[in-house]
Each structure stands twice: as structure tokens, then as C-alpha cells.
């Protein structure tokens, strides 16, 4: 969430920054803010007058005035009138604050000064490539390989659920599990603490991480409860420290988590309708960091390297893109996407997104820290990154390591986790 004080004091700068992301009108917010502050000032004056009257009544009575006399009676009548005015103002002010909050929750994060300006994904900037020597120019689609090997079934998944689900069988299930174990092992060795969080999350958690209210239509909700199926482990990891004040000495905090993820993919019908690329349910290993504001952009570069490490270990060629302002995620101020090479499509496809959200999520979830010897608190900065999307990793692996005889080689680093060299 953006800082209302920043919007009020530097509205021109905020409007200019938001214009790089799209069309956002801040005038209604500024009008409501002015109205709310006017009511707040009036309420403060009335409260002060109410306190003065209370003291005056006490002083009069202690000075010998008749508690039922006209002088005291007049003061009490004025006091009652002030209280009535206060009782009328308070709900009005509360309603204005709620309207302001509703607008703030719909505004995206401001792009960083270093984020490339662009209208959409076509203007993202390629930063680097890795593994050109491993690139296959064409190949068999992963879903065909999986069905030939008998390790994945889509038709029966439709019978169990609906389209865009998959059932992994035998070596397919083992491969998914091996990839998850391998990713978690690499991240914990790099200093991340492994978390296994709930995958049902409440509305406050989705709001705190930035998924609500904007992405309500993309999420699955349990109608009888205030619970949603988590679209990403970013949601529960953000909210592990919701409404908490951390010590500065505890920072940085690095978490990693495997969870199944659930998304409607409401805006993607007709795209990637076959295979593992765009499912309603998929597995992902997430990296998440709570860091000091002074180190968050440095931490982002390191986070990207941690995601790249997985692809390099598996020897899957990829490229790194810096997202432009028009393609930036809602909560992010700066984002790098990792795209893995898919031989069957002869193109790169997103497999990880690594973002610095600065204080945007921390402000929504009220996560702060305190420096030693200082009275006040500051909001932490949060970062998140896929490390990696497991299904897409499996898809790239099957296509990259597919052999002419119909088998699939298992990458050397994955063999101890899977217990075999060939599928």
C-alpha cells in the first residue's frame, strides 16, 4: 500500500510515477483526504472543548458553585451539545477513512527509478542469457513425452476435476517430488529457513500481500469460510509476521517454502491449453525475504542469483529479463523474470519472477522493525521470488533431456533425489 502522507505531500511525483504503469486518477483520493483531515481537525477542537468544559464544571463545584445551579447547568448543557456533535462526526470520519483505505488498496506500487519505462511485456529489457550451449532448437512437447512414458495423464484429471489439471503417475510423481526436494535443499544450503505453511489463507492475508482486492476473480474461495486457496506461498510467508515489530538485529529473514498453488487463470483461456505451463493447480517453491530498507535492492540481485542457481544446476538454458513499468506486478517496485528455454516452442517461457516490493506489502500487513536505541519503528522491505515453478521446470527438463530412443536423461544433480539416471 502506498503511503498516504507521501501522496498528500508529493502528489505530483506520485502521479508521475503511477502514470508509467497506467492511468490512475488520484484526485478523488486527495479530495477525500482533505475532507477527512477537516473533520479530524473539527473533532479535535470539539474534543478539546469537551475536556475544557469537564474541567470547568469540576472547578466551579470545588469553588462552591451549586452543582444544580444555572452556571453549572449551562456548562453541562454545552458539554452535552459538544458530545452530540462528536457522536455525529465520528461515523462520518470513520466512513471517509474506509473510503480512503479502499482506494489505497487498489493502487499499485510505484516503480523504482531504475525500472525501465514501457507500455507492456514487449518493452521488457533482456539482461543476460545462460546456457546457450545446451539449447535444442526444436523438440517434442513435454506433454507428449509425459504421455508416451505414462508418467502424466490429463484426460483422467478432467474426469476427477476439470480441464487444466494433471495427474502425475509413477516416475512423474517421483520427478515432481525430487525437483521440490532438490530446490528446497539448494535454498536451505544458501541460508533460507524452510517453512511448510497453511495453503488455506484468510482475507486479511491476501490483502496484506496485495492479492486482494485486485485479484479476487483469479482466486478460489471457500464460500462457507473466510478462507481462500493460496495462489502462491508468497501469501502465507508475507503474513507470518503480520502485525509484528521485528528487531533490526533479526534482519534479514530468509524463508523458502513449497506449496501447491491455485489460480483460476481467468484471463488466459486459449493460451497453453495443453501441458504443464498454465494449470489451475501447480507446485512451486517460493523464496521470501524481510530485509532492512537500506539493503533491499542489493538483496534483489542476490535473490535472482538464488533462482538462477537452480536452473544452472539442472543445466536448463534461460534468460533474465528486467520488467518494464507496464508489465510490473501489482506489489512490485522492481522485478526480474527468469525465462527457461522450451525446445518444442523454440522460445523462452517464464519460470520465475523475483521482485522487490519495498515497504508496499509491509505497510498493508503492518510489518515493522525497530532500531536499537530508537523510539520509532520503520516498515521492513519484502522480496519474493519463485525458486522455481516446479511444473514448468519439469516441462523444460523433459523437453531438454529427451532422447531419440524415447527415454529422458535425468540431470546429474537430480539423480540422488530421484534414484535413477533415466526415465
Catalytic residues: 263, 278, 350, 353, 392
CA 4 to chain centre: 20
Identify the burial level of 153 via C-beta atoms within 10 angstroms of its C-beta, where 0-12 means exposed, 13-18 middle and 19 or more buried. middle
Q: Which three cell numbers, joined as nine digits, stand for 21? A: 504503469
- 3-class SS of residue 91: helix
| CB proximity list for 243: less than 8 A, separation 6 or greater | 365, 366, 367
| CB proximity list for 237: less than 8 A, separation 6 or greater | 195, 197, 255, 257, 286, 288, 384
Beta strands in 263-346 (DSSP E): 281-291, 318-322, 334-342
State which H helix or E strand residue 28 sits in.
helix 27-62
Angle 330-354-209 from CA coordinates, rounded to 5°: 40
Q: Which three cell numbers, joined as nine digits, stand for 347? A: 522460445
φ, ψ of residue 386 to 5 degrees: the values are -75, 135
Q: 238: number of CA atoms within 13 Å, CB side? A: 33
- 3-class SS of residue 314: helix
Distance between CA atoms of residues 143 and 277, nearest Å: 10
φ, ψ of residue 379 to 5 degrees: the values are -80, 140
State which H helix or E strand residue 342 sits in.
strand 334-342
Q: Which residues of 286-308 are buried (b: 16+ CB within 10 A; e: fewer)?
A: bbbbbbeeeebbebbebbbebbb
Listed residue (245, 272, 240, 273) closest to 257, CA to CA: 240
Amino acid at each position: 500500500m502506498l503511503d498516504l502522507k507521501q501522496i498528500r505531500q508529493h502528489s505530483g511525483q506520485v502521479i508521475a510515477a503511477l502514470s508509467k504503469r497506467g492511468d490512475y486518477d488520484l484526485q478523488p483520493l486527495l479530495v477525500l483526504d482533505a475532507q477527512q483531515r477537516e473533520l479530524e481537525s473539527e473533532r479535535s477542537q470539539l474534543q478539546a472543548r469537551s475536556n475544557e468544559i469537564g474541567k470547568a464544571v469540576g472547578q466551579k463545584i470545588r469553588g462552591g458553585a451549586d452543582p444544580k445551579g444555572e452556571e453549572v447547568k449551562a456548562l453541562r448543557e454545552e458539554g452535552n451539545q459538544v458530545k452530540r456533535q462528536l457522536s455525529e462526526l465520528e461515523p462520518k470520519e470513520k466512513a471517509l477513512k474506509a473510503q480512503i483505505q479502499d482506494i489505497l488498496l487498489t493502487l499499485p506500487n510505484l516503480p523504482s527509478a531504475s525500472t525501465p519505462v514501457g507500455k507492456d511485456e514487449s518493452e521488457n529489457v533482456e539482461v543476460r542469457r545462460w546456457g546457450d550451449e545446451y539449447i535444442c532448437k526444436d523438440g517434442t512437447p513435454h506433454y507428449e513425452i509425459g504421455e508416451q512414458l505414462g508418467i502424466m495423464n490429463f484426460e483422467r484429471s478432467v474426469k476427477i476435476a476439470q480441464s487444466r489439471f494433471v495427474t502425475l503417475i509413477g516416475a512423474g510423481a517421483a520427478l515432481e517430488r525430487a525437483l521440490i526436494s532438490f530446490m528446497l535443499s539448494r535454498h536451505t544450503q544458501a541460508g533460507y529457513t524452510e517453512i511448510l505453511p497453511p495453503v488455506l489463507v484468510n482475507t486479511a492475508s491476501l490483502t496484506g500481500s496485495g492479492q486482494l482486492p485486485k485479484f479476487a476473480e483469479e482466486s478460489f474461495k471457500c464460500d462457507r469460510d473466510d478462507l481462500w486457496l493460496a495462489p502462491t506461498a508468497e501469501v502465507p510467508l508475507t503474513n507470518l509476521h503480520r502485525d509484528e515489530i521485528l528487531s533490526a538485529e533479526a534482519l534479514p529473514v530468509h524463508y523458502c517454502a513449497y506449496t501447491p498453488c491455485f489460480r483460476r487463470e481467468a484471463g488466459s483461456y486459449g493460451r497453453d491449453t495443453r501441458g504443464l505451463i498454465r494449470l489451475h493447480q501447480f507446485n512451486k517453491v517460493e523464496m521470501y525475504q524481510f530485509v532492512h530498507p537500506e539493503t533491499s535492492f542489493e538483496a534483489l540481485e542476490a535473490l535472482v542469483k538464488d533462482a538462477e542457481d537452480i536452473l544452472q544446476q539442472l543445466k536448463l538454458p534461460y534468460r533474465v529479463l528486467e520488467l518494464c513499468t507496464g508489465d510490473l506486478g501489482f506489489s512490485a517496485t522492481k522485478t526480474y523474470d527468469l525465462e527457461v528455454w522450451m525446445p518444442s516452442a523454440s522460445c523462452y517461457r517464464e519460470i520465475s519472477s523475483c521482485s522487490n516490493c519495498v515497504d508496499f506489502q509491509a505497510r498493508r500487513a503492518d510489518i515493522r522493525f525497530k532500531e536499537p536505541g530508537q523510539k520509532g519503528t520503520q516498515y521492513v522491505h519484502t522480496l519474493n521470488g519463485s525458486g522455481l515453478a516446479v511444473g514448468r521446470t519439469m516441462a523444460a527438463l523433459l523437453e531438454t533431456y529427451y532422447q531419440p530412443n524415447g527415454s529422458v536423461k535425468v540431470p546429474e544433480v537430480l539423480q540422488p533425489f530421484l534414484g535413477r539416471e533415466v526415465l
